[in-house]
């Protein structure tokens, strides 16, 4: 039995959920998200919460049960409070600047990297070495953060590059004489 799937998802004030078959639409103060849930699960909305249950007892139904409940929970959390991912830039001369909806990155290459920010994502640069990415869709926020990080991944010798704020870089010892 799924330990995640059996818990109902509570719906906070200001969030509206619309179900039509397997298509679920969640709207709140930060936007609207829509997703088609797998056919192996059944979704019900009742008295301020959403419950997800498997349609069958096979292995795939049980696997989709927990995943679908997590997807519903992420949609509800996204439209009510949103998700944020923070990046830290380390390295001499490495910096980021925001120019409208373009993120300008200087990462030690011979050219600047210009990254176009999608409409549904909000990016802030509090300092030249910190980037904050926020939005309603957890998958989109994580994907944008991963794409920005991929421009210069942190290297293990000096730790230079772009890393997540909660990421720990395992350092290697340099060569000895």
Read off the pLDDT of residues 34-89 as tens digits, 9 standing for 90 and up. Answer: 999 999 999 999 888 999 999 998 999 988 999 999 999 999 999 999 999 999 99
Q: How is the chain split into domains, by residue range?
A: 9-80, 83-164
Q: For residue 110, count other CB atoms closer than 10 A to its CB.
A: 4
pLDDT at 2 over 70: no
* CATH number for the domain whose boundaries are 9-80: 3.90.930.12
> DSSP assignment of 67-131, as one string?
HHHHHHHHHHHHHHT-EEEEEEEESTT-EEEEETTEEEEE-SSSS-EEEEPPTTEEEE-SSTTEE
Confidence bin at 176 (pLDDT 50/70/90): confident
Cβ atoms of residues 68 and 37 within 8 Å:
yes
Predicted confidence (pLDDT) per residue in 82-136, tens digit: 999 999 999 999 999 999 999 999 999 999 999 999 999 999 999 999 999 999 9
Predicted confidence (pLDDT) per residue in 137-166, tens digit: 999 999 999 999 999 999 999 999 999 999
pLDDT at 5 over 70: yes
Q: Class assignment of domain 83-164?
A: alpha beta
> DSSP assignment of 26-80, as one string?
EEETTEEEEEEPPTTEEEEEETTEEEEEESSSSHHHHHHHHHHHHHHHHHHHHHH
Q: How far is CA 57 from the centre of its chain?
A: 31
Confidence bin at 1 (pLDDT 50/70/90): low
Asked if 9-80 and 83-164 have one fold, the answer is yes
């Amino acid at each position: 039995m799924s330990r995640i799937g059996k818990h109902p998802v509570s719906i906070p004030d200001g969030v509206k959920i619309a179900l039509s078959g397997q298509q679920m639409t969640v709207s709140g103060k930060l936007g609207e998200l829509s997703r088609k849930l797998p056919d192996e699960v059944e979704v019900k909305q009742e008295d301020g919460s959403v419950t997800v249950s498997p349609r069958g007892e096979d292995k795939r139904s049980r696997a989709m049960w927990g995943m679908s409940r997590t997807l519903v929970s992420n949609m509800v959390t996204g439209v009510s409070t949103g998700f944020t991912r923070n990046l830290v830039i380390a390295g001499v001369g490495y910096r980021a600047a925001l120019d409208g909806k373009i993120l300008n990155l200087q990462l030690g290459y011979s050219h600047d990297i210009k990254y176009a920010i999608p409409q549904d994502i909000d990016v802030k640069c509090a300092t030249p070495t910190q980037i904050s990415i926020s939005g309603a869709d957890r998958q989109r926020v994580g994907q944008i953060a991963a794409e920005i990080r991929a421009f210069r991944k942190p290297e293990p010798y000096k730790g230079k590059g772009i890393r997540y704020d909660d990421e720990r870089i395992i350092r290697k010892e340099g060569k000895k004489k």
